[in-house]
Amino acid sequence: MTEKITYLDNAATEKPYEAAIEAMVNAARCYGNPSSAHTAGRAAAELLEDSRKTLSSVVGCEKDEFYFTPSGTFANNAAILGTAYRHIRRTKRIISTDSEHPSVELPLKRLESEGFEVIRVTTKDGLPDYEALENALMSPTSLVTVMHVNNETGAVYDIAKVRSILDSTPSGAMLHCDNIQGFLKESNPLRYCDMMSVSAHKIGGVKGCGGLYLSKTTRISTIVEGGGQERSLNPGTEAMPAIAAFAAAVKERTADSGRDERISELKSYLLSAVTKIDGIEPNLPKNSSPYIISLSLIGVKSEVATNYLSSIGICVSAGSACSSKKRENRVLTAYGLERTRADGTIRVSLSPSSTKDDIDKLCAGLRKITERIIIK
Amino acid sequence: MEKILLLKYGELVLKGLNRKFFNNKLLSRVKQQLKKLTDAEGGSFELEYAQSTLCVRARDGADINAAAKLMKKVYGIVSVCTAYETEKDMDSILNIIKINARSLIGSAKSFKCEARRSDKKFPLTSPEICTLAGGAVLEVFPELTVDVRNPDSTVFIEVRDKSAFIHSGGEKGAGGMPNGTNGKALLLLSGGIDSPVAGHLVAKRGVSLDCVYFESPPYTSDLAFDKVKQLAEKLSLYCGSIRLFSVPVTEIQEKIFSDCHPEMTTILLRRFMMRLAERVAERCGAAALVTGESLGQVASQTMPSLVVTDSVAGIPVFRPCIGLDKEEIVTIARQIDTFETSSLPYEDCCTVFTPRHPNIRPTIEQALREEAKLDVDALIENALSQTKSVFIN
């Protein structure tokens, strides 16, 4: 990959920190299996526990409440399916929103096909319908699963409010939060959650590692059988290189204390620049993350725009990277965009290493597209 | 006991004096496909043509089942049948039936036997063969019932000149005429569902294919080209080697977009595509163009649009999907395994400058009026000069 690219697709994945790569390589050299009792195994086990300590302290939980998983997707699946099956005798009712990531939406669909009732509250304009949530929670429910930061629009959903509604209603539901786009980017919603998913490569770790916080009082069924690792939640040999890199990335990220302010400034800079370009309209939820900016190019298909930007070295995505292999605009339509506008929406996502220069290059590219192909 | 493939020829057995030409083409296609298999996995195949059937025998560990799969994609073959071959004596035949009763009968609850005896010197008559064969099946599966009118499964016993074949019927082959017996055409391959189906329907009649794809870099991506390449590869399993041409039309689209009436964008591009395709056809020796157009499906496929598009083509344009509904086209796309690839979401050039309200009743006069604003010849020459091609075998 050329070094000169302008990378603004950080919600898909971030460039790993050098420290994370180094930790990954070192962990690969420390090749023992953490489950083995011999010297090599114990060295790996020690690294595993050190990493868990780092993660749990940043996540804000006890060490044995944090489980390493192979991905954020796995963490979401484990939490949703595990809770649904655990409480199957009490209730087969689950509440979520209409704009969740496929790693939440698809397990929910699977549960529906198995006879579960799934209620999805609307999230028009990036605002969950809290009243509908409250009404839905009047009946016995096993799980409420709501994302913290929407991966396509950047809308921030109020997890504290969800908790307070949940506590004031008689459903008996657990609360799971997909915090994959919010981890170390938004205020930490952990204290409101019974379960929370995170992912390493969204914050400068490497691919192959996610994590699930599971409060001590929460019991879920396991969805994969195997050797009992991670207290049977993810019962395979631990991916030590990715786990060690996750811990290293977390340390790097938390050491950069001014990151959120910088990113907020960059977002303002981007928004003021794009408002000067005819044919581009940002989609701004009332409460939004500074890291994700959704832009609609009126009359241009998002894939056409991303192809053009890619040809001049600028990487952004159409909608979300996770659903870009399918023609669907479920999330943007739920946000309230018309089909044609959703078809022309791109996502710009920032990281602590993004610069004003990146934004300038992006705006120059966008200007060229709108001048050349905005449909009359 | 050996397994053997019996490939039944279709309509080419009705050919007259030129039948040998068709037979040779079919034989060479079969050989070419089987060679791919032996090159990859070793072994060899022996071919023997007798009584309107091509027999394929696997030698030295060649995979007869993989061969059967390939043969189902050879145009000209109407049925592919995997049979057990044995000596022409009743004991051997019955022995084969008993040993392979499970694979011959499957999970059927009723069966019948059907015997054909092209060797009239065989000591038993067809009904006598059936009686004994049925007895052999019942010996293995006494719970089965015999149903001669509507059986779940049929065991066929064919006593031929040199040996006997036992099988449970053939699977449908690709049909049509052998590759290369009916000239060459150029398929306008877009990456959608319809054009590969159109290519298949024409190639099935013995026509060799090359393909042309129009792209709009940098607005369309390499992924879109890869998708088209994959489609050409899937088609080539049926119709043999293909040269895939890609012609950039970005400049043409930008010129149309800036200088012409927005409602005419699509139809003008289609006219350019026809002109370019004709030139590519000339280059590759194709005598006709093939498109996946289906009447009324989209704005550029209304009757007036097709008239306007067609009027620039100097060679015949075949549109085998013209009267098919989308559902019918999808059914064929699934049969030839192009549907999944066609459904990948990458945009092609047609979607880059799509007007909000395309003219669905354009006229040739309107098109000529708009084209007068462009240097059509220069745009064509420039696009052609940037044409690239890959060979797919």
Question: Interface of chain B against chain A, CB under 8 Å?
Answer: 217-221, 254, 257, 262, 344-347, 351-356
Q: Which one of A236, A254, A272 terminates a domain?
A: A254
Q: DSSP characters for B186-251? A: EEE--SSSHHHHHHHHHHTBT-EEEEEEEE-TTTS-HHHHHHHHHHHHHHHHHH--EEEEEEE-HH
- Region B165-183: what's the mean pLDDT? 92
Is residue B245 located within the same domain as residue B100? no
Residues A132 and A119 in one domain: yes
Q: Are residues B237 and B339 in the same domain?
A: yes
**How many domains does chain A fold into?**
2
Q: Specify the pLDDT at position A320.
A: 53
Residues of A within 8 A of B345 (CB-CB) are 303, 324-327
- Residue B353 confidence (pLDDT) above 60: yes
A 10 A CB-CB count for B16 gives 5
Question: Residue B279 and residue B275: Cα distance in Å, rounded?
Answer: 6
Q: How does the average pLDDT of chain B come out, rounded?
A: 92
Same-domain check for residues B125 and B25: yes
The 10 Å Cβ neighbour count of residue B47 is: 14
Number of CB atoms found within 10 A of residue B57's CB: 17
Q: What is the mean pLDDT of residues B43-53?
A: 87
Note whether A307 contacts B219, CB cutoff 8 Å: yes
Shared domain for A232 and A115, answered yes or no, is yes
Same-domain status, B146 and B198: no
Q: Count how many domains chain B has.
A: 2
Domain assignment of residue B178, yes or no = no
> Quick check: A325 and B218 CB within 8 A?
no
Q: Are A58 and A250 in contact (CB under 8 A)?
A: yes
From B172, B194, B223, the end of a domain falls on B172
Q: What is the SS3 assignment for B260?
A: coil
pLDDT for the residue numbered B270: 94
> CB distance from A339 to chain B under 8 Å?
no
According to DSSP, residue A277 is labeled S
Within a domain: A1? no
A227 with A87, same domain: the answer is: yes
Cβ contacts (< 8 Å) between A324 and chain B: which residues? Answer: 345
Contact A311 B356 (CB under 8 A): no
| pLDDT value, residue A3 | 58
Regarding whether A76 and A170 lie in a shared domain, the answer is yes
- pLDDT at residue A324, rounded to an integer: 47
Shared-domain flag, residues A281 and A243: no
Give the containing element (helix H, strand E) for B71: helix B64-71
Determine the structural domain holding residue B207 and report its residue range.
184-392
User: Last residue of some domain: B147, B172, B197?
Assistant: B172
Give the pLDDT of residue B296: 85
Same domain, A156 and A222: yes
Q: Considering only the beta carbons, identify the residue of A301, A312, A325 that sits closest to B347.
A: A301
Q: How far apart are CA B109 and CA B193, in angstroms?
A: 40
Of B379, B392, B393, B388, the residue nearest B245 (C-alpha):
B388
CATH number for the domain harbouring residue A171: 3.40.640.10
Q: How close, in Å, is residue A359 to chain B by CA atoms?
A: 21
Interface touch B345/A376, C-beta < 8 Å: no
B241 found inside a domain: yes
Contact A307 B345 (CB under 8 A): no
The per-residue pLDDT for B10 is 81
Statement: residue B278 has pLDDT above 70: yes
Q: Please tell me the distance from the alpha carbon of residue B60 to that of residue B224, in angstroms, as a whole number.
A: 42
**For the domain that residue A364 is a member of, what is the CATH number?**
3.90.1150.10
Domain assignment of residue A27, yes or no: yes
Domain membership flag for residue A54: yes
A94-98, A366-370, B96-100, B142-146: range with highest mean pLDDT? A94-98
pTM of the prediction? 0.82
CATH of the domain at B191: 3.40.50.620
CB pairs under 8 A between A and B: 45
Do B226 and B148 sit in the same domain of this protein? no
Chunked into runs of 10 residues, chain A (376 residues) has average pLDDT values of 83 98 97 94 96 97 97 98 96 97 98 98 97 96 98 97 96 97 97 98 98 96 91 93 98 95 97 94 95 93 91 88 61 93 94 97 94 65
Q: Which residue has the higher pLDDT, B329 or B353?
A: B329
B19 and B129 assigned to the same domain: yes
Residue B21 counted as domain residue: yes
pLDDT at res. B17:
78
Q: According to the model, what pLDDT value does residue A370 have?
A: 87
Confidence (pLDDT) at A243: 98
Q: Shortest Cα distance from A115 to chain B (angstroms)?
A: 29
Domain with A27, as residue range(s), is 18-254
Contact flag B346-A303 (C-beta cutoff 8 Å): yes
Assigned domain for B319 exists? yes
Please check whether residue A357 lies inside any domain of the structure. yes
Nearest to A373 among B217, B220, B352 (CB): B352
Closest residue in B to A312 (Cα) is: B218
User: A206-226: buried (b, 16+ CB within 10 Å) or exposed (e) per residue?
Assistant: bebbbbbbbbeebebebbbee
Question: Which residues have C-beta within 8 Å of that of residue B13, sequence separation ≥ 6?
Answer: B19, B52
What is the ipTM, given to two decimal places? 0.72
Q: At what angle do helices A18-29 and A240-255 cross, to 10 degrees?
A: 150
CATH of the domain at B160: 3.30.2130.30
Shared domain check, A239 and A303: no
Whether A315 and A7 have beta carbons less than 8 Å apart is answered as: yes
pLDDT of residue B166: 95
Are B108 and B191 in the same domain?
A: no
Clarify whether residues A76 and A178 are in a common domain: yes
Name every chain A residue with its beta carbon within 8 A of the beta carbon of B355: 375-376
Query: Do residues B30 and B10 share a domain?
Result: yes
Looking at the structure, do residues B111 and B50 belong to the same domain, yes or no?
yes
Are residues A266 and A169 both part of a single domain? no
Residue B71 scores a pLDDT above 80: yes
B131/B204 same-domain check: no
On whether both B51 and B139 belong to a single domain, the answer is yes
Residues of B in contact with A319 (CB under 8 A): none
Last residue within a domain, chosen from B172, B197, B216: B172
How distant is the Cα of A317 from the closest Cα of chain B, in angstroms?
13
pLDDT tops 90 at residue B222: no
CA distance B9 to B26: 9
Percent of chain B whose pLDDT exceeds 70: 99
Q: Write out pLDDT tens, residues B104-121.
A: 998 899 999 999 998 888
Pair (B238, B153) in one structural domain = no
Point out the catalytic residue in the list A61, A177, A322, A363.
A322
- Closest-CA residue in chain B for A324? B345
Dihedral of CA B59/B60/B65/B66: which sign? Answer: negative
Predicted local confidence at residue B162, as pLDDT? 87
Q: Are residues A318 and A208 in the same domain?
A: no
Same domain, A31 and A93: yes
Residue B177 within any structural domain of the chain: no
Confidence of residue B50 (pLDDT cuts 50, 70, 90): confident
Residues of A in contact with B354 (CB under 8 A): 375
Tokens of A234: 């993810």
Same domain, A235 and A274: no
Residue A61 a catalytic site member: no
Q: Which residues of A touch B221 (CB under 8 A)?
A: 303, 307, 310
